[in-house]
Copies of this chain bind each other. A is one copy, B any other.
Amino acid sequence: MELSRLSFNQITANDWSVREAAMGCVQAGIPYISLWRDKVETTGLAESARIVRDCGLRVSSLCRGGMFPAASALERAARVDDNRRAIDEAAELGAEVLVLVCGAAPDKDLDAARKTVESGIAQIIPYAVEANIKLGIEPLHPVFAGDRSVIVTLAQANDMVQRLTSPQVGVVVDVYHVWWDPALYAEIERAQGHIVGFHVNDWLVPVGIPLTSRGMMGDGVIEIKRMRKAVEAAGYKGPIEVEIMNQEIWNRPYDELLEEIKTRFIQHV
Contact = CB atoms under 8 A, between A and B. Distances in A.
A91 B44 CA distance: 68
Contact of A207 (B109, B156, B181, B209): B209
Interface stretch (A50-58, A121-129, A219-227, A250-258): A219-227
Contacts of A181: 142, 152
A211 interface: yes
Interface in A148-204: 152-153, 155-156, 179-182, 203-204
Contacts of A114: 182
A105 to B, nearest CB: 7
Given A153-B182, A156-B182, A182-B155, A146 B210 contact: no
A210 B156 CA distance: 24
Interface in A212-269: 220-223
A145 B206 CA distance: 10
Interface in A105-119: 105, 108-110, 114
A143 B209 contact: no
Contact of A180 (B152, B207, B208, B223): B152
Nearest to A145: B180
Given A108-B222, A210-B210, A146 B182 contact: no
Contacts of A222: 108
A206 B141 contact: no
